[in-house]
Structure 1
Amino acid sequence: MAEQHDRHIVTLKDVAAASGVSISTVSRVLDDRTPPSRSATAERVRRIADDLGYRRNMFASGLRRGATGTIGVLVPRLTDHVMALMFEAIERTARTRGAFAVVATCGDDPVEEKRATETLLDRNVDGLILATARLDDTLPASLRARGVPHALVLRTDGLSPSALGDDEAGGYFAARHLVDLGHRDVAVITGPWFTSSARDRLAGARRALAEGGIEIGEDRVISTGYGIESGHIAGRTLLAHESRPTAIFAANDNLAIGVVAAATAAGLTVGQDLSVVGYNDIPLAAMLPVPLTSVRTPFDQIAASALDLLGESAGTVTRALPTLIPRASTTAPKA
């Protein structure tokens, strides 16, 4: 799956591919704890690493040197499928690197976020991964000022090292799919406006609709929470219009599930009377009575990037490209 980087981070895998040797060989050659090999292969690997601009990840090195080997992960809540999937991906990836991930939850409360962060730091974690960033959040700035290795996932404040999906591209894919099916009256339910993900997904959707010559009115855009109940309320509001939309793009799958419930309660059949697109492609999406079209987020890729970013300088952002997964919840509008 493709990945776009604002600044490409050269990894051991990159050096191995360019050198024609295994990753373990590159790791051994570039390990400064051992006397440097003078073999032709070692010299070539070091030269290629220099040419590519490889820089040893200090966090990963610290783990190998016997630090606590523990990574703190902060999420709003684990009842949110996306946050649970993100944590599992981080924990899984950390395990392959000889580390262990622990999680704390804080809701959407900045005070609780700070408290949970200090609790993790009190347990001597080697770094923090935050899935909680608000655009107005002061916590990342505090961590930068204190020199705490950290990375943001799924959201960004535009300053701290961040690993996320390309939300603008994902929003574009979702709305473009609806435009290509022939929909001209499309509504969008975004997440909280304090999140970069909500803003970027809406921006992508607007771009796709504009390309199709469709102007989306403000009455067709609702910003709300990311929960199922929020989607249900927003769905009821949109479907109560005398001239209801023929398609709704919901900026996460929970919102989409809420919309499906609202449509069903209104006597509409999703995939016939109304097309619905979700986002993140949680496992439940494919198992609904009408399988949900969704934009798949590459959680494992984001997790790997986040671990690579721990200890990196501010301003480094990686964006993994999502994929649209069409299913039965989207069809051409009725004539």
Structure 2
Amino acid sequence: MAAQAGVSITTAWKVANGRPDVSHDTRRKVQAALIDQGYRPPSKSPRFTRLVEFVVHEMETAWVLEIIKGVYREAATHRAAMVLSELGGAITPSDSWITDVVARQPLAVISAFAVPTEDQRRSLAVNGVPLVAIEPAAELTDQTPWVSTSNWNGGLAAARHLIGLGHRRIATITGPPDIMCSRARLDGYRAALDTAKVPVDAELIRHGDFLVSGGLREGRALLALADRPTAIFAANDHQAMGVYQAAREIGLRIPADLSVVGFDDLPMAGWLGPALTTVRQPLHDMGAAALGTALELAKGDPPPHNQIIFPSELVVRASTAPPPDRAEP
């Protein structure tokens, strides 16, 4: 194997044992040779069995905290500790991150929204560290297990609820267009409008950033339109909060003048004024399921499916109502 990779036996041993003092390119060559020859890492020492690595793109949203609670809850039942890595808003971890993780030799890695590269996933596999992704931002083309919610159904339910109330000028503020869950929620919204024969107005589709600031920015733009929407489906609760602020700035009442629907059902959703109608995804359960799957992999038991999709559920509260009568007197 060392000869196949063009390295010394000592260097090959360092890579196989997770030593950090090997360059990234050399590590990649050795790992490719290890995989090609069907290498399987030895059983972990007991001292490595109580550490779980959690990596996330950023800590700016309560969504992340709810996921962490689920992972932590499951880890605690196995008397495992957590190491938290935040990528400062980046989706892809750095090479230094994978070097540090391999050196720590955790029992498993859980990524939320963040997507380790193919090389990084290979590094984890070679070192016997299972990876499970939660709501990955980009599609995983290998067999990495991932956990999500029914985003398309959630977008469909949100738009159908507003259509059922009589709205026809229904806007949406989705997330970045290159994020999988953003596209799925937007597609569900489109499907509901198409089915109801409500024209899809491109002017009413805005791309946010899943932050309150993005909801405020895009909410202001939508409410400044000459023919403004009577309802807005924000693709997460943080952006719905931004829409609330945009409406307050120009004196619009929710839901008398504007209906708002969010997505997530974060704890704060029920405490907004008025309480937010939103699409619930079971974030605690998603986090726990991801770690549970990783622990099974660590024992050598592959999951029956690579994808675990939790159902989403529309939660109707006080932020939606029939559209106002906007006819001229």
Q: Do both proteins adopt the same fold according to a TM-score greater than 0.5, normalized to the shorter chain?
A: yes
Which moved further from structure 2: 258-267 or 70-79? 70-79
Q: In the alignment, which residue of structure 1 is the partner of 2:264? A: 280
Post-superposition offset of 1:64: 11
Post-superposition offset of 1:315: 7.5
Q: In the alignment, which residue of structure 2 is the partner of 1:217? A: 201
**Is 1:141 aligned to residue 118 of structure 2?**
yes
> What residue identity is the alignment partner of 2:61?
D
Post-superposition offset of 1:288: 1.1
Runs of 4+ in 1 over 4 A off after TM superposition: 62-66, 110-114, 312-315
Identity of aligned residues (%): 32
Contact 1:106 1:116 (8 Å CA) reproduced? no
Q: SS of the counterpart of 1:175?
A: helix
For structure 2, the residue ranges without an aligned partner over 5 or more in a row are 1-42
- CA gap of 1:334–1:92, structure 2 versus 1, over 3 A, is same
Q: SS of the counterpart of 1:301?
A: helix
Q: In the alignment, which residue of structure 2 is the partner of 1:109? A: 90
How many residues align? The count is 270
**Is 1:306 aligned to residue 290 of structure 2?**
yes
Q: In the alignment, which residue of structure 2 is the partner of 1:55? A: none
TM-score by length of 2: 0.76
**Is 1:320 aligned to residue 297 of structure 2?**
no
**Is 1:97 aligned to residue 78 of structure 2?**
yes
Q: SS of the counterpart of 1:230?
A: helix
- CA gap of 1:128–1:260, structure 2 versus 1, over 3 A, is same
Contact 2:147 2:307 (8 Å CA) reproduced? yes
Post-superposition offset of 1:193: 1.8
- CA gap of 1:71–1:176, structure 2 versus 1, over 3 A, is same
* Distance in 1 between residues matched to 2:147 and 2:44, nearest whole Å: 20
**Is 1:157 aligned to residue 157 of structure 2?**
no
- CA gap of 1:266–1:88, structure 2 versus 1, over 3 A, is same
TM-score by length of 1: 0.75
Post-superposition offset of 1:79: 2.8
Contact 1:63 1:99 (8 Å CA) reproduced? no
* Distance in 2 between residues matched to 1:287 and 1:217, nearest whole Å: 32
**Which structure has the larger Rg over C-alpha atoms?**
2
Q: In the alignment, which residue of structure 2 is the partner of 1:125? A: 106
> What residue identity is the alignment partner of 2:108?
G
**Is 1:261 aligned to residue 245 of structure 2?**
yes
Post-superposition offset of 1:208: 1.3
> What residue identity is the alignment partner of 1:167?
N
Q: In the alignment, which residue of structure 2 is the partner of 1:333? A: 323
For structure 1, the residue ranges without an aligned partner over 5 or more in a row are 1-61
* Distance in 2 between residues matched to 1:145 and 1:172, nearest whole Å: 37
